């Protein structure tokens, strides 16, 4: 049963990943996310159902558009595959924490899948276009707030203090990012990073936020150093922080508490 459900979540995830590609493209280049047919971004030809099967269509078409025969960006199958794997992992994570399918909190699972999807699409837009669109970030912040209130209604009274800590942490880290943006005149960070880090802080909560930030700056620093060593970047040139914030947020969302527990266990051994 678990294997079947895991495969099902993977398939659902690839379908969601296909939709996230649409969101990533149209939030940057314009167009309705929910209306309008999918087209080839190069020849603008309308795509049919057989062109839109997640991962499979890319493989069957040898990575080329059926109509203009130009290469399809690897972004499309990679986002579909990554989202499928993340959906499957999120389900398994919830199952192994409760050790029972019946004990999985459905609302919390939907919440996690929503955050996974949001971070995936923002990872994509910032990596490809250097943008963290307000049309994604601001509704996501509102949705997270609503989810938190709903989850609070089904939790014990201590959760009120947890939510308060999350809000305080969110405003503090966003304020710190604002100070960096202001003092550096947007050379170190962009305005979009302020809203994005607020979203991540609110979504993953305290103290998992510390894991998200640590991983974001660690991986960002390593990649920046590697790019400089390879001659792809020079000192003083910036690397978008958004993808690394998204990566850190994903890890913190799903494994933050386990990482903190391991750290504390090693610290007090």
pLDDT at 269: 65
The span from the CA of 247 to the CA of 120, in Å, is 8
Q: At what angle do helices 134-153 and 106-129 cross, to 10 degrees?
A: 160
Q: How far, in Å, are 133, 197, 219, 236 from residue 233 at the CA level? A: 25, 25, 16, 9
Tens-level pLDDT at each residue, the chain (269 residues): 788 999 999 999 999 999 999 999 999 988 888 887 888 888 888 988 888 999 999 999 999 999 999 999 999 999 999 999 999 999 998 877 766 665 567 888 999 999 999 999 999 999 999 999 999 999 999 999 999 888 887 766 556 777 888 899 999 999 999 999 999 887 778 889 999 999 999 999 999 999 999 999 999 999 989 988 888 877 767 788 999 999 999 999 999 989 998 888 877 66
pLDDT per position as a tens digit, 27-69: 998 888 888 788 888 888 898 888 899 999 999 999 999 999 9
Residues 6+ apart with CB under 8 A from 170: 198, 201, 202, 209
């Amino acid at each position: 049963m678990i294997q079947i459900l895991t495969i099902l979540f993977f398939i659902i995830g690839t379908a969601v990943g296909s939709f996230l590609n649409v969101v990533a493209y149209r939030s940057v280049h314009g167009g309705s996310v929910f209306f309008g047919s999918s087209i080839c971004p190069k020849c603008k030809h309308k795509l049919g159902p057989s062109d839109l099967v997640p991962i499979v269509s890319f493989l069957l078409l040898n990575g080329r558009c059926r109509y203009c025969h130009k290469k399809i960006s690897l972004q499309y199958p990679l986002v579909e595959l990554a989202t499928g794997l993340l959906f499957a992992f999120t389900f398994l994570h919830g199952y192994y924490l409760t050790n029972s399918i019946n004990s999985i909190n459905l609302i919390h699972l939907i919440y996690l899948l929503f955050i996974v999807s949001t971070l995936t699409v923002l990872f994509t837009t910032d990596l490809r276009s250097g943008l963290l669109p307000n049309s994604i970030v601001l509704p996501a912040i509102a949705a997270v707030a609503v989810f938190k209130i709903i989850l609070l209604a089904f939790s014990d009274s201590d959760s009120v203090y947890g939510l308060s800590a999350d809000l305080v942490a969110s405003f503090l880290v966003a304020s710190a990012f604002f100070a960096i943006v202001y003092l550096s005149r947007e050379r170190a960070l962009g305005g979009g990073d302020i809203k994005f880090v607020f979203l991540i802080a609110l979504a993953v909560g305290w103290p998992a936020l510390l894991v998200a930030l640590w991983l974001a700056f660690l991986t960002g620093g390593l990649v920046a150093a590697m790019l400089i060593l390879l001659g792809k970047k020079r000192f003083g040139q910036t690397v978008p922080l958004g993808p690394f914030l998204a990566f850190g947020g994903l890890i913190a969302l799903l494994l933050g508490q386990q990482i903190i527990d391991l750290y504390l266990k090693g610290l007090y051994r």
